[in-house]
Structure 1
């Protein structure tokens, strides 16, 4: 691994933890801002919606700048927004701070992915994105418990200031990363052209369905597992930690598989495994069985994510950050849809139906990505056959 990746990973970890830390300190935020927990919790919704709307546009608007410059600007915005989150005097200022952090969060990971590819040796792109996924998943494993602990030790303001300090370290680390090539110059129409490509839209739909399934389960971990396995309040965050740690291992191992076999085979196998394991959440009857299901599901989930992301970047090689931004935005949109649908299912049918219906989204995703891979493979073979059948007397231009 290129040692400079450490700073890229730190920046991604700080951004991911910032999004998740609120789950552990919402009560403290509500008390500090003299509002209800429901209103304080809307900071998560504001963050997700801002990210989903702004995310796909940022790489296009900022395409004239170098990736390192964009990431540095994003980290400065992240630091400022996070400090404001900790020191906000009222609810309005706090919500504005979450919008600022969301813009930074939308800017940083796509550029981080593009930088990771640029500074990695040829043929190691899968491993590079696997490492980035591991950083994100480590934030999943530590975000909620870290937020709870920092909230106890430092108060919610101290928790946000701690994350701002991580952003400062990541910003300093950018000086050690060599400048990466700027995106190829293109008109605005050319920049938006990939969004009209059927393959890009199909893979974007896959990202949405992936997040739909993932957020349906992770958002409602407590009611789903309490209903099936009788998990206690302590057991839920423990299972989330297990999910995150298993995901880190999956992301690191998946990177090697992606580099060897390609993104589509790994993603198809991962989606199939997700579809098979998701309904098991409603059947887990003990903590041990629930833990096994969580591990298997996390391994499948977190091998699929970098595999599909690699292929998304390859669909737009001139500016992969644009493709990564669209991918990330559709993940946020899918998460919002999955959370809303599962909330309705919880109210209307009960927690036991959340997992089976989430598996339907995964199953559709499996079909979509399988068809997409088959068509792209058939097109590639047809092009290779056409080249091979050109007579030797015909000059190739």
Structure 2
């Protein structure tokens, strides 16, 4: 295993912890800031929206930066955002600081995935992507439950200090251990969105948006959805999130091996079908410890296992612009998260939280339809011909010479 991939996974762990730990502290934030859980839930929306909008923008603006400098700067911004959140005394400041943290994540995650795809041999690209993505999933297994547990004793501010410390450790690790990093070509913002003109890529991105919108809408309000089994105890909720996170980590590892052996499209379709059934049953399985544990395990395995085949499909369609399409996939995923946070908050105004998973199942069903509609080939001009340097994923002979 390339140690550089492990350093990238460490940074994803910090970002993932920040993203998913909020679900466990929303009730505490709402009570402390004298607001509703639905409004506090917009912490997730603002973070995700900042990520979705800024990922392609920053990829274009900072495209010529050395990869190591970009990764370290991103983590620095991420740490500052969380420190401000931990010190904030009103909801507006919290939301603004969440946007700042989302900017740091937007700079880091697509860069890390693009570097991982370039470091790996084509035959092992799936495993490389799954290694970095596993850092994100491991955050749900360890970081988010631990942060929720800390919040149960020291309040939600202590959770955000914990996240800031994780980001700082990750920043130091990337700076000291990530030595040689490939430098991709610099693309304008217009060139970065050019791949969506390929119908296969457009439909794959829409699949990610709706699927993860459904998955993460329910996760955002997990404290309410699982109240029947947790009784509102954040420590029990942390244990349930731990089950979900361990399954998520296993899902990314297994998926990385599956996509190197089987067709990604078949894996995606099967996973979405099982996820729909699981979410439709969740209003009843979530009220008993045994059945809730099984449901969370299936949810974690499939929800995170879906990321790798989606990434693999995009890289297979457009290998010459892999960093571009991976950045767009992150944007699609976080757009789904941002919209689902708003949608979930609206649904909770009229529907009992127990039935929120039915709305999530509907979004996942739309994703399944989109995935089934995605053609194996496209009559449009191949995205490999988009951009200024189609010959190499690194974009030029000069950048290829810098490839380790």
Shorter-chain TM range is 0.7 to 0.9
**Closer, same or farther: CA 221–184 of 1 in aligned 2, 3 Å:** same
1:145 to 1:256, Cα distance in 2 relative to 1, 3 A: closer
Provide Cα deviations, 1:121-147, integer angstroms capped at 9, x if missing partner: 442111122222322122123344322
Question: Contact (CA 8 Å) 1:309, 1:324: kept in 2 or not?
Answer: yes
1:315–1:184 distance in 2 versus 1, CA, 3 Å:
farther
Name the counterpart of 1:166.
166
- Where in structure 2 are there 5+ consecutive unaligned residues? 383-404
- In structure 2, relative to structure 1, the CA distance for the partners of 1:268 and 1:67 (3 Å cut) is farther
TM-score, structure 1 as length reference: 0.82
Q: Which has the larger radius of gyration?
A: 1
Instruction: Map 1:336-355; keep pairs closer than 5 Å.
Output: 336-351=338-353, 353-355=355-357
8 A Cα contact 1:68 1:111, kept in partner: no
TM-score (norm 2): 0.81
Q: Aligned partners of 1:56 and 1:188: how far apart in 2?
A: 7
Aligned to 1:21: 21
The answer on whether the counterparts of 2:225 and 2:353 sit within 8 Å (CA) in structure 1 is yes
Structure 2 distance, partners of 1:164, 1:60, is 27
1:1-397, aligned counterparts within 5 Å?
A: 1-25=1-25, 36=35, 42-88=42-88, 92-151=92-151, 157-174=157-174, 175-186=176-187, 188-226=189-227, 231-234=230-233, 235-284=236-285, 286-351=288-353, 353-375=355-377
CA distance in structure 2 between the aligned counterparts of 1:346 and 1:364, rounded to whole angstroms:
21
Higher relative contact order (CA 8 A, sep 6+): 2
Asked whether the equivalents of residues 208 and 332 of structure 2 are also in contact (C-alpha less than 8 Å), the reply is yes
Moved over 6 A (4+): none
Q: CA deviation at 1:207?
A: 0.8
Give the count of matched residue pairs: 376
Q: Distance in 1 between matches of 2:378 and 2:205?
A: 15
- Deviation (angstroms), 1:90: 5.7
**Gaps (5+ residues) in structure 1?**
381-397
In the alignment, the residues of structure 2 paired with residue 357 and residue 65 of structure 1 have an alpha-carbon distance, to the nearest angstrom, of 42
d(CA) in 1 for partners of 2:215 and 2:351?
19
Kindly indicate whether the alpha-carbon contact (under 8 Å) linking 2:148 and 2:238 is maintained by their aligned counterparts in 1: no
Q: For structure 1, which segment, 233-242 or 197-206, has the greater mean C-alpha deviation from structure 2 after superposition?
A: 233-242
Is the 8 Å Cα contact of residues 211 and 367 (structure 2) preserved in structure 1?
yes
Q: Residue 12 of structure 1 contacts residue 136 of structure 1 at CA under 8 Å; is this kept in 2?
A: yes
Shift, 1:337, TM fit: 2.9
Query: Bigger shift: 240-249 or 360-369?
Result: 360-369
Distance 1:8 1:123 in 2: 20
Structure 2: how far apart are the matches of 1:232 and 1:131? 36
Over 3 Å counting, the alpha-carbon distance change for 1:119 and 1:57 in structure 2 is same
Taking the aligned partners of 2:93 and 2:224, their CA distance within structure 1 comes to: 32
C-alpha displacement at 1:376, in angstroms?
5.4
Aligned to 1:207, the other structure's residue is in SS state helix
When structure 1 is superposed on structure 2, of 338-347 and 110-119 the one drifting more is 338-347
Structure 2 residue matching 1:123: 3-state secondary structure: helix
Deviations 1:324-363 (A, max 9, x none): 2221222222123334434444443544543334223222
Greater mean deviation of Cα atoms: 299-308 or 180-189: 180-189
**Offset of 1:28 from its aligned partner?**
6.1
Seen in structure 2, the aligned counterparts of structure 1 residues 321 and 68 have a Cα distance that, compared at 3 Å, is farther
Contact 2:199 2:374 in 1 (8 A): no
| Gap change, CA 1:356 and 1:22, over 3 Å in 2 | closer
Task: Quote how far apart the aligned CAs of 1:99 are.
Answer: 1.8
Distance in 2 separating the partners of 1:217 and 1:355: 6
